[in-house]
Amino acid sequence: MKRIKRLSKIFFLVYLILLVPSLTEASNMHEKENKIGIVYWHGDIKQNKIALTFDDGPNMPYTLQILDILKKYNVKATFFVIGKNVERYPEITKRIVQDGHCIGNHTYSHPELLVNTLSHIRYQIKKAEEVILRETGIKPNLFRSPYGMNNLSVLSEAERLGYVVVEWSVSGRNGIMEPRFDKIVKKVLQDTQNGSIILLHDGNRLAKKANRSQTVKSLPLIIENLKQRGYQFVTVPELLNLN
């Protein structure tokens, strides 16, 4: 049984490395169809509103640096945090909320949910929720699964627990590997349009002090350029008109 589970995880990682990037590059993510009330890829393409989102934090010192930049430019963002990282850096999590940003659930330990049971999917969402609520006083209602990978089990369980699933339509492609800042900037600027949900990472799963210096360096350039193009930065709930 352990061997089968190990092989399943290896297959899943190979799938992520080889298939997902090609699909992302080959398709226009803004054309993905929102499943209203359940899962969203983007906001209204008729309005010049966009949402910055950050995954895998909080992460020292880069989340703090990102928060400083967002404050400087008066931009509100949405942070999909990992429960274990919240436990590691509760004060940073509190600051995310205190600065007026939205906080979302990104599971407790960032597992590959597609190869897990319903009970473990439920545990991952509920455990992260408990940690976030304990540290911030806020019960999140936005969920993003690890790697953005969903199936019927993940979606149905998230919906049953009262969550809206949020994907993305633009990615800086700074997931496991951190590219140079200019590549992050180029990718975001060329793909952003009305209603974009932009994915960046302030952490790297459960890695301690994961290097996100290139993301930090890219952020002012992204914000300045997109503001010059007339885009308004809002949180995900504001973008999607969620209560």
- Residues that are catalytic: 55, 201
d(CA 141, CA 103): 9
Q: Which of 157, 100, 167 minimizes the C-alpha distance to 124?
A: 157
- What amino acid is encoded at 80 in this protein? F
130-141 per-residue burial string, b: 16 or more CB within 10 A, e: under 16:
ebbeebbeeebb
Question: Helices 62-72 and 90-98 meet at what angle, rounded to 10?
Answer: 10
Here the tokens at position 203 are 């952490």
Q: Which of 166, 222, 227 minimizes the C-alpha distance to 197?
A: 166
Within 10 angstroms of residue 76's Cβ, the number of other Cβ atoms is 17
The Cα diameter of the chain in Å comes to: 55
d(CA 224, CA 115): 41
